[in-house]
Structure 1
Amino acid sequence: MAIAIIIQEPKLRDKWLENFRSLAPDLDFRVWPDLGQLSDITFAITWRPPHNVFENLPNLKAIHSIGAGVNYIFETPNLPHVAILKVVDERLTHDMAQYVSHAVLNHFLKISRYQKAQLKSQWSPSRPLPQETQIGILGLGEIGAHTAQTLRKLHFNVCGYSQSPKPHLDFQTYHGKENFDLFLHQTDILVCLLPLTAQTENILNYDLFYKLRKNAYIINVGRGKHLVENDLIRAIDEQQLSGASLDVFKTEPLPSEHPFWKHEQIHITPHIASQTIPARVCKLILDNYQRQLQDLPYLNQVNQSKGY
């Protein structure tokens, strides 16, 4: 049995291979495109694979993403019916909560305004109360729930929305299509932490923006395809939204001519909210491979009917 590493970008591929081999030098790693005897491969480790690569692996049992996202795997044509696995790492969860907290506080405390005032030698203090701001977390998986609890510790009012009920959470949550608008209507700062599926693509659109409170703020750390980019600019220009913080984009790197770069009310970062660290994550992935060898249930298996 062999493990295929299917990552197209050479530097990224070499970095991951080095970490895997340092942890498990005796395992048979095959590196795309030189996979050798295809029938040997039972486990694939991947990031943004080429089209149709999996259909030629007759004994493949599982495909493991090197990140938390798996939407790119489902976009692969002729995907075989095998287990799809994702990374769930406590560090990624904490990193995301830290990033979102910073984005919330930067907007809430008007830090950008004070930076501009400093350049003009202007002294104009103003300090709002966090209890007067309602933050809505769109997506209450492990990362969303942890982010919500982190913001609550900063004394913000927080509510959340998910597809299914979350009775174990000790703050206000909403679920189901019938409650979506109710969730939006009370939100001042909307944080998108959804997985990308056919149902969530383009969910951050013009209609949604006008269901939020006036001067609402958008933080998107989910996926770039969640956002209709022109709708965001339009809603800001119409003063329905006060601005946005974006860490993910439909095209990455963000093209140099993109209007987001120079928009004063849109803050962008280059997809750094939470980043996978190979030395840590490789062990998690190899643990799942060992579970395959021992015929044990995989950890962090994706529900393919939901897409996450």
Structure 2
Amino acid sequence: MSTARARRHRRSREAALTVTVLFAAKPESWADYAAPLRAAFAEEGLDAALVTEAAPETVDYIVYAPSSGLEDFHPFTRLKAVLNLWAGVEDVVGNPTLTVPLARMVDDAGLTQGMVEWVTGHVLRHHLGMDRHILGQDGVWRRGAPPLATERRVTILGLGALGAACGQALARLGFPVTGWSRSPKRIEGIDARSGADGLAAALARADILVLLLPLTTETENLVDAARLAELPEGAVLINPGRGALIDDTALLAALDAGHLAHATLDVFRTEPLPPEHPFWAHPKVTVTPHIASETRPASAARVIAANIRRAEAGAPLHHLVDRARGY
């Protein structure tokens, strides 16, 4: 019997666990998530009533996106946990009515793979100077090959699951990768730094800087004029993390002054990015519409179902948010 069949057989002999799970996200997301969640619940042996509406006092778990509009958790008197559909929790972590455990979306294989592909693609774009040839189809024979990856230093700010995965992927391509996080970490293939001195050192060696930090009170505007000045002349900034990590005015000034060569931005303080925002027309800025990665229903459903199963079995939830740290 295969491992998967044996697991299903074992679970079929266990008592089914009956829970009510409220799906609280934009209505259009329901069509994408309903079937994958039900399939994942069945695989985990959960007899779960998955609903989009329910009397609050009957709900055990909430699968949640801040875009749902749900803000008051007080009425959910039986609530055991909220499972965020997104990796970022800045829009809900400070909600005073949310007192039950909050888990964020981590270890979603689809989310991680999507981010690795986007970051690797844009790092290679700038490393290889693709724009010079793609946009310069004007009959001019432009000589000069780019340096090898071993000669282009990449720094990643944020060494969580996404940052670590992106850093290791780039290291496998030969890039010298420096990473920075608030707390010390050891990650194979990455020169991991922490603390104020570590941040300065990481910035100083960033020919290409990638931002994958969570947004907290400590990281908001982290990349300001002073820290942009610590980057090497001609550096490139890539931000698929959170828009408010960057001081927009300082970034534009650094680009206009020629200190930075380019900024590729996927996230912004206001989304969609207003048409009048100067990023759109700036020749040294590439705007992408928050597409670096997203939660994939099939893989995310498995993460959520496994976490609920753990909770129902009395085990601690995975990927719990530390309220004090904000992620």
Deviations 1:269-300 (A, max 9, x none): 11121121112211221221122222122122
Task: Report the CA distance between 1:12 and its aligned residue.
Answer: 1.9
Question: Quick one: which amino acid aligns to residue 16 of structure 1?
Answer: Y
Query: Is residue 2:102 matched to residue 1:84?
Result: yes
State the alpha-carbon separation in 2 of the partners of residues 134 and 67 from structure 1: 30
- State the partner residue of 2:50: 29
Query: Is residue 2:308 matched to residue 1:289?
Result: yes
- State the partner residue of 1:166: 185
State the alpha-carbon separation in 1 of the partners of residues 239 and 292 from structure 2: 10
Q: What's the TM-score, normalizing by structure 2?
A: 0.86
State the alpha-carbon separation in 2 of the partners of residues 216 and 133 from structure 1: 10
**Structure 1: gaps (5+ residues):** none
State the alpha-carbon separation in 1 of the partners of residues 198 and 37 from structure 2: 45
Question: How many residue pairs end up in the alignment?
Answer: 302
Task: Report the CA distance between 1:168 and its aligned residue.
Answer: 4.3
- State the partner residue of 1:237: 256
State the alpha-carbon separation in 1 of the partners of residues 301 and 186 from structure 2: 33
Q: Describe the shift of the 1:15–1:53 C-alpha distance in structure 2 as closer, same or farther (beyond 3 A).
A: farther
Task: Report the CA distance between 1:217 and its aligned residue.
Answer: 0.8
Percent of paired sites with the same residue: 33
Among 243, 248, 251, the alignment partner of 2:270 is: 251
SS at match of 1:161: strand
Task: Report the CA distance between 1:181 and its aligned residue.
Answer: 1.3
Q: Give the alignment of 1:133-282 within 5 angstroms.
A: 133-282=152-301
- State the partner residue of 1:52: 71
Q: Describe the shift of the 1:12–1:171 C-alpha distance in structure 2 as closer, same or farther (beyond 3 A).
A: closer
Task: Report the CA distance between 1:75 and its aligned residue.
Answer: 4.0
Question: Quick one: which amino acid aligns to residue 49 of structure 2?
Answer: D
Task: Report the CA distance between 1:256 and its aligned residue.
Answer: 2.0
- State the partner residue of 1:125: 143
Question: Quick one: which amino acid aligns to residue 108 of structure 1?
Answer: H
- State the partner residue of 1:16: 33
Question: Quick one: which amino acid aligns to residue 28 of structure 2?
Answer: K
- State the partner residue of 1:115: 134
Among 92, 97, 108, the alignment partner of 2:116 is: 97
State the alpha-carbon separation in 1 of the partners of residues 90 and 54 from structure 2: 24
Task: Report the CA distance between 1:171 and its aligned residue.
Answer: 3.2
- State the partner residue of 2:14: none
Higher RCO, 1 vs 2 (CA within 8 Å, ≥6 residues apart): 2
Task: Report the CA distance between 1:94 and its aligned residue.
Answer: 2.2
2:57–2:76 contact (8 Å) kept in structure 1: yes
Question: Quick one: which amino acid aligns to residue 12 of structure 1?
Answer: S
For the aligned residue pairs, the C-alpha RMSD in angstroms reads 1.9
State the alpha-carbon separation in 2 of the partners of residues 171 and 108 from structure 1: 18
Q: What's the TM-score, normalizing by structure 1?
A: 0.91
Q: Describe the shift of the 1:171–1:17 C-alpha distance in structure 2 as closer, same or farther (beyond 3 A).
A: closer
Task: Report the CA distance between 1:23 and its aligned residue.
Answer: 4.7
State the alpha-carbon separation in 1 of the partners of residues 92 and 133 from structure 2: 43
Q: Give the alignment of 1:62-73 within 5 angstroms.
A: 62-73=81-92
Runs of 4+ in structure 1 displaced over 6 angstroms?
Answer: none
1:117–1:123 contact (8 Å) kept in structure 2: no
State the alpha-carbon separation in 1 of the partners of residues 163 and 278 from structure 2: 29
State the alpha-carbon separation in 2 of the partners of residues 170 and 14 from structure 1: 40
Q: Describe the shift of the 1:173–1:20 C-alpha distance in structure 2 as closer, same or farther (beyond 3 A).
A: closer
Deviations 1:104-148 (A, max 9, x none): 111111111112221x11110222322222111101112211211
